[in-house]
Amino acid sequence: MKELERQRWLAGLALLAALPLPITGTSTWAFVLPYVATAAWILFRRQVVMPLSRWVENLLAPLVLVAVVAAGGLQVGVLRPISHLALLVAAIRLPGAALPGRSRVAMVTTAIITTAGVASSTHPSLVVYLLVALGACIVAAGRSILLGLAASVREPAGRAAWPPARLVALTVIIAILISVPLFAALPRLRSPFVGARTGTASVSGFRSEVTLHGIGSIKASEEPALTVRFPDIPEVPQAWLRLEGATLNHYRGGTWVEGRSALPLPLARQGQTIALWPDQPTAALPRAEVTLEKPGENLFLPTGTVAIEPPLAVEVGRTAIGVLRIPRDTRVPLRYTATFDPAAPRSPPPDEVDLEVPRAVRERIAPLVREVVGQAPNPLAIAVTVEDHLRASYAYTLHPHAPWREDPVIWFLLRGREGHCEFFASAMALMLRVAGVPARIQVGFAGGQRQPDGSFLVRDSRAHAWVLAWVSGRWQVFDPTPPEGQPLIEGSGFRLRLPWRWEDMEAAWDRWVLTFTLVDQADLVRSLMTWMVGHGRTLGLAVAAGGAACWLLIFWRRGRKPQSTSSDKRSPRREDYTVRALQRVMRAGAQSGLDLAPSLSPRAFAAAATAAFPAAGEALGWLVQAHERQRYGGGNPPPRGELRKRVAIVRRCLATGHSRVVRTAGSAGGTGPASQAASHQAATRNGSAASRSTR
């Protein structure tokens, strides 16, 4: 019965471990189905399944390796072949898992499958799955241990052979309380499961959050990013709400990078404007008042910004490519003003970097570029042709399945043919470069929600990417993303705003779990140190008060006398009274001449003492019954007054006789029939003498 239940628990845990595999794409159905079928068959069997023969398992081992290699090997990353291998090994080793020598292997392979399934799971529902899986493992382990204990003492396994619900719940809560600080404190590693090179796909699963160069999430996140106001402009064109945050021109290893070095701009006094492009007059240009609502390193400016009135007391830096940066720990909201010319995008002139394309990418996409561009006469015609081709021939999605080991642009153009705005912008920029047109990409925000006061609220979901192409001797903006992927201007209609919506929970999960980086850890430590320095005295007083309270509590509990109330009948201190009473009685028996063995049980002591001192038999029997009823039957402890009365009777009876040493069962004396008869005769003589002396 014990082996059958262990088999069912292991099969159930194996099925639970396989639950996220087909959802996240960690494993293919060809490997999941044999594993699930084997586990389900074992789960519903009414008898213990015996393992396969050793020669059959050895014969299947090379077939497993061939199947894993044929399924792609390492072409789709490391996680998928490991999960495929673990699935096939578990399907072979699950039969016979109830046997003691094989259950450990089944548990290890199940743990590997569970890890592979949750490693690429990025959805918030993963927390619920982990809690359920943890609770099931605790119940299974407790059940197995308690069944073993029940079998060893030869007692029926009823409700006592199940772990208490409070113990399971408390263990899960403790695991959560331990895992959260560990997650925040352990070093951050750039995991391929969280984000691939374009910031969207995992090794073999889905990613719930899509970020553009650390600027914003293009998923349906309602977190406010910034607010823009255009003074004295009643009707604002859509192009004015294209706010650039970073310009990128280095394409390395499947991602866009930029230089981080920045020269500080001079701090401006109130009302002073700094010209970013001195050759451009600013008298008749529109102005935009921007309020940064989300902390970060970038200042977002309308396209064609030529001058800014930077925020006061904030050090603003400018990179070589013209991107404005501020310290990451700058407090928000942060207000600044930009003067811009929307018809003339501003960026440093192109150089050889704006024509660089990795050799592997150039060789793969060059035939496609020649086919698309055809006989376009000039750079403007080339750019328009490529833009129209991408809009018409490729689909927009926030869940592209870009493989980890393949360049995302090659995958997007030649195989996937779907992606979000960063795929479209990256593909157009590299296609233009192959065609000889200098190009860069820009990331920032586009569109917004019109507010009643005339301003525009730009949320995190407005993050967008587009292309700067050098045509006709100047930079020009192109946006190859299809219309369904381009943020637009929304009205200020009614919007249901609950304290906790699913989108908000997903945004918090994406921000503080999936994209929690080493920079966030440094910010957390810096904020904690700043708070401790600013509140050092308060913190010291709180620690001292807490220590004093703990000391007083310990002192009070040690000095507190137990009360004989009904609510305290089952306390550990009350249970010790009966044990202490028996210990005093046994010490009195040793002083009266009984030879006690170290491992003597209370019942054996009572039998030996009653044989030597019959007058103490009734009181000793009462003490032993009270002890066994409380210790093994779960009964209430006896009243302290009655307990003291019985102890006094036994000690008085034991004190009446010191005649001869009586060896008890288990002592060093003889144990044969002759020795037992002699002991019985001696006990009878001592009892008679004690009776005469009492009379």
Bond into 333 cis (ω within 30): yes
Q: Are 377 and 264 within one domain? A: no
Q: Are 304 and 336 within one domain? A: yes
Asked whether residue 147 is assigned to any structural domain, the reply reads: yes
**What is the mean pLDDT of the segment spanning 293-305?**
87
Asked whether residue 509 is assigned to any structural domain, the reply reads: no
Q: Are 328 and 358 within one domain? A: no
Among residues 325, 349, 373, the one where a domain terminates is: 349
Find where tokens 């866009």 sit.
256
Asked whether residue 498 is assigned to any structural domain, the reply reads: no
What pLDDT sits at residue 428? Answer: 96
Residue 679 CA to residue 391 CA, distance in Å, equals 106
Find where tokens 């293009």 sit.
218
Question: pLDDT by residue (tens digit) across 652-664?
Answer: 888 775 434 344 3
* Element containing residue 262 per DSSP (H, E): strand 262-264
Tokens of 409: 């642009």
| 116-119, long-range: CB < 8 A, 24+ apart | 116/21, 116/26, 116/27, 116/79, 116/82, 116/83, 116/86, 117/17, 117/18, 117/19, 117/20, 117/21, 117/24, 117/26, 117/83, 118/20, 119/26, 119/79, 119/193
Among residues 447, 470, 490, the one where a domain terminates is: 490
Among residues 295, 330, 349, the one where a domain terminates is: 349
Q: Are 483 and 364 within one domain? A: yes
Residues 6+ apart with CB under 8 A from 173: none
Asked whether residue 497 is assigned to any structural domain, the reply reads: no
Question: pLDDT by residue (tens digit) across 150-199?
Answer: 555 555 455 556 888 888 899 889 988 888 888 888 776 544 333 333 33
What pLDDT sits at residue 270? Answer: 59
Find where tokens 């029939």 sit.
673
What pLDDT sits at residue 504? Answer: 64
Burial (CB count within 10 angstroms: exposed 0-12, middle 13-18, buried 19+), residue 636: middle
Residues 6+ apart with CB under 8 A from 25: 120, 204, 205, 206, 401
- Taking 50 as the threshold, does the pLDDT of residue 292 lie above it? yes
Q: Output the CA–CA distances (angstroms, integers) from residue 516 to 194, 561, 574, 653, in the order listed.
A: 10, 52, 51, 75
Residue 117 CA to residue 27 CA, distance in Å, equals 8
Q: Output the CA–CA distances (angstroms, integers) from residue 24 to 122, 126, 208, 428, in the order listed.
A: 9, 11, 11, 30
Q: Are 33 and 122 within one domain? A: yes
| 45-52, long-range: CB < 8 A, 24+ apart | 45/7, 46/4, 47/4, 48/3, 48/4, 48/7, 48/98, 48/99, 49/7, 49/95, 49/96, 49/97, 49/98, 50/95, 50/96, 51/93, 51/95, 51/96, 51/99, 51/102, 52/92, 52/95, 52/96
- Hey, how many other C-beta atoms are within 10 angstroms of the C-beta on 562? 13
Question: In three state form, how does the secondary structure of 176-208 look?
Answer: HHHHHHHHHHCCCCCCCCCCCCCCCCCCCCCCC
Q: Are 553 and 596 within one domain? A: no
Helix (H, G, I), strand (E, B) or coil at 449: strand
Which of 72-86, 170-184, 617-631 is least confident?
Answer: 72-86
What pLDDT sits at residue 575? Answer: 54
- Between 364 and 489, whose confidence is greater? 364
Q: Are 449 and 479 within one domain? A: yes
Using a pLDDT cut of 90, give the percent of the chain over it: 16
Q: Are 131 and 154 within one domain? A: yes
Q: Are 359 and 341 within one domain? A: no
What pLDDT sits at residue 373? Answer: 92
Q: What letter would DSSP give residue 52?
A: P
**What is the mean pLDDT of the segment spanning 386-414?**
85
**Residues paired with residue 336 on neighbouring β-strands, in sequence order:** 290
- Taking 50 as the threshold, does the pLDDT of residue 200 lie above it? no
What pLDDT sits at residue 669? Answer: 39
∠ Cα 260 263 269 (to 5°): 130
What pLDDT sits at residue 203? Answer: 27
* Residue 440, φ and ψ in degrees, nearest 5: -135, 165
Range of the domain at 57: 2-185
pTM exceeds 0.95 for this model? no
Q: What is the mean pLDDT of the chain?
A: 77
Asked whether residue 623 is assigned to any structural domain, the reply reads: yes
Asked whether residue 193 is assigned to any structural domain, the reply reads: no
Asked whether residue 496 is assigned to any structural domain, the reply reads: no
Q: Are 484 and 389 within one domain? A: yes
- Tally of domains within the chain: 5
**Residues paired with residue 289 on neighbouring β-strands, in sequence order:** 229, 337
Tokens of 667: 């002592």
What pLDDT sits at residue 664? Answer: 38
- Between 194 and 125, whose confidence is greater? 125
Residue 103 CA to residue 633 CA, distance in Å, equals 34
Q: Are 337 and 370 within one domain? A: no
Asked whether residue 205 is assigned to any structural domain, the reply reads: no
Q: What letter would DSSP give residue 234?
A: S
What pLDDT sits at residue 367? Answer: 94
Q: Are 647 and 680 within one domain? A: yes
User: Do the Cβ atoms of 9 and 106 come closer than 8 Å?
Assistant: no
Question: pLDDT by residue (tens digit) across 630-688?
Answer: 877 777 778 888 888 888 888 888 877 543 434 433 333 333 333 333 344 444 444 34
Reported residue count of the chain is 695
Burial (CB count within 10 angstroms: exposed 0-12, middle 13-18, buried 19+), residue 241: buried
- Hey, how many other C-beta atoms are within 10 angstroms of the C-beta on 542? 11
Residues 6+ apart with CB under 8 A from 48: 3, 4, 7, 98, 99
Helix (H, G, I), strand (E, B) or coil at 602: helix
- Between 567 and 603, whose confidence is greater? 603
